[in-house]
Amino acid sequence: MIRFEEELNRLREYVIEAGNMILEALKNARDSLLNGDMDLANQVIEGDRNINRISYKIESACLKILLLEHPVATDLRIVSATLKIATDLERIGDQAKDICDLLKFLLEGNIYKDKMETIIEMSNIIEEMVKDSLSAFSKKDFELSKKVIESDDTVDKLFYKVRDSMVDLIKSGANDSDQAIYLMMIAKYFEKMGDHAENIAKWVYYYSTGDRYK
Q: Is the pLDDT of residue 187 over 70?
A: yes
| Of 1-10, 58-67, 157-166, minimum mean pLDDT range | 1-10
CATH 3.30.565.10 is the classification of domain 2-209: no
20-45: per-residue pLDDT in tens?
Answer: 999 999 999 999 998 999 999 999 99
CA–CA separation, 11 vs 15, rounded Å? Answer: 6
Q: Three-state SS string across 131-147, please?
A: HHHHHHHHHCCHHHHHH
CA–CA separation, 70 vs 37, rounded Å? Answer: 48
What is the model's pLDDT at position 111?
A: 65
Domain boundaries, the chain: 2-209
Residue 71 burial by Cβ neighbours in a 10 Å radius (0-12, 13-18, 19+): middle
